[in-house]
Structure 1
Amino acid sequence: MTITLIRPTADLFDSWAEAVAEFGSAHIDGSGLQAPVTPDRATLDALVAKAEELADTSTEPADGLVHNDLYWIVDGGEVVGFLSFRHRLNEWLSEVGGHIGYAVRASRRRQGYASAALRLGLDRAREIGLDRVMLSCDDDNVGSYRTIEGAGGVLQDVRDQSERGHPLLRRYWIAL
C-alpha cells in the first residue's frame, strides 16, 4: 500500500468515476462535490477548476469559502477516497466541518487508508504553519472517530447539529 494525496486530475477519470459511483447518492466528505453527483467528464472538469481556484492563495476565495486543498487519496493509481484540507476555519467549519474532511470508498474501508491520508493531511497543515487542526465526525461513525483519536485527536465536545443537517457531531482537536 503506497498512499498519496493528489489533486483532482483528468488522468484518473475512470478510477475517480468508479469511486464516486460507489458512494451512490450520499454526500462524499472531502470530495468538493455536492450530492447527488453524476461522475461524468463535465463534473470532473468543474471539480478540477474548483480545486485550482480554492487552492490559489494569491486570490481571495468567494464569500463563505476558505482556501482549500482538495485531494484524492490514491493507492497505485486507484482513487480510494477523498480528503479536503481547509487552511482556516470560518463560522460553519468551526461548528461542523473542521480543517480536514475525508471519506474512503466502502470497498476500501478498514484497510488503513483513512489513517494514512489523515497523516498526510496533518503534514500539509504543518507545512502551512498551523499549530492545531479541528476535525469532526458523526457521533455514530466509529471508524472515523477511532481514526481521529489514533492520530492524537482530543475530543472537545459532542453537539447536536441537527439544524445544520447533522445528528450528534463529535468535534476534535489535534495538536501539531
Structure 2
Amino acid sequence: MTALSPPTAGVHRSFLAAMAEFQSQGRGSAEDDSMVGAEIRRFSPSWSEAESFETYTRWLRDLALEESPKPPGHVPSTTLWWVDGEEYLGRIAIRHRLTPGLLEVGGHIGYDVRPSARRRGHATAMLRAALPVARTLGIDSALVTCDVDNVASRKVIEHNGGVLEDQRGVKLRFWVPTG
C-alpha cells in the first residue's frame, strides 16, 4: 500500500536506484539547487553503506526539530517519503514556517517523484496525504510553488485545491488549504 513514511532504511536499495535515476537526469549537479540535488552532492558518496544511510535517514528526521542544526536561513522541516512497501517512490518536505525567501519562491511544501514512477498520480496523492500533516504543524493554508513551465506540477497543485496567487519571476505561487 502506498503511503507517506518517515525516512527509513527499509527502502535503502530502492532509494539508491531512485537517486541513480535522478542523477541520470542531471540532478545533483552544481546548478541543481533542489533538496534532492543538495543531498545527492552531500550524501551520495556514503549512501551505499548501511550505517551511513541510517545516519542520513536520522538526519532527515531530525530536521523537523527546532533545535537541530540547520544551515543559515533554514527552518524546521518534516520530510516524508512516499513508499509502497520497500519501494521508494518520492519525497515531500513540509517547512514549518516561511522565511522571506520561502515566501517568495520556496513555499511550505516541496516534492519530488522518482523518474520511473512519474505520470501515475503519485505526486497528487503524495501532496494530498501531506496536507493534513501540514495542518498539524499549524499551517492553515500551504504555499506551494512551481516553475511557470512545469505543467505537471501545476496540475498536482490545482488538483489539491491550490489557488494561484501570482507569478514571481519564473515561479507560480499557489495557496493550498490544509484542512
Structures share fold, TM-score greater than 0.5: yes
TM-score, scaled relative to structure 2: 0.83
Q: Structure 1 stretches of 5 or more lacking a match?
A: 161-167
SS at the partner of 2:98? coil
Q: Which has the higher helix share?
A: 2
**Structure 1 residues 175 and 137: CA distance shift in structure 2, 3 A:** same
Equivalent residues in 2 for 1:32-111 (5 A)?
A: 33-36=38-41, 38=44, 39-41=47-49, 44-57=53-66, 59=67, 62=70, 63-111=72-120
1:144 alignment counterpart: 153
1:7 alignment counterpart: 6
**Structure 1 residues 146 and 17: CA distance shift in structure 2, 3 A:** same
2:121 alignment counterpart: 112
Given that 2:7 and 2:58 are in contact with CA atoms closer than 8 Å, whether structure 1 keeps it comes out as no
- For residues 93 and 151 of structure 1, the distance between their equivalents in structure 2, rounded to whole angstroms, comes to 20
Cα offsets for 1:45-76 (capped at 9, x unmatched): 4532321321124x265341211111111123
TM-score, scaled relative to structure 1: 0.84
SS at the partner of 1:55? coil
- The letter for the 1-side match of 2:173 is R
Q: Structure 2 stretches of 5 or more lacking a match?
A: none
2:177 alignment counterpart: 175
1:20 alignment counterpart: 19
Runs of 4 or more, structure 1, over 6 Å off, are: none
Tell me whether 93-102 or 144-153 shows the greater mean CA deviation: 93-102
Tell me whether 149-158 or 46-55 shows the greater mean CA deviation: 46-55
Given that 2:144 and 2:173 are in contact with CA atoms closer than 8 Å, whether structure 1 keeps it comes out as yes
How many residue pairs were aligned?
A: 167
- The letter for the 1-side match of 2:13 is D
SS at the partner of 1:157? strand
State the Cα distance separating 1:28 from its structure 2 match: 8.5
- For residues 37 and 96 of structure 2, the distance between their equivalents in structure 1, rounded to whole angstroms, comes to 15
- For residues 144 and 43 of structure 1, the distance between their equivalents in structure 2, rounded to whole angstroms, comes to 32
Cα offsets for 1:105-124 (capped at 9, x unmatched): 11111111001100111010
State the Cα distance separating 1:152 from its structure 2 match: 0.6
Given that 2:104 and 2:168 are in contact with CA atoms closer than 8 Å, whether structure 1 keeps it comes out as no
- The letter for the 2-side match of 1:86 is R
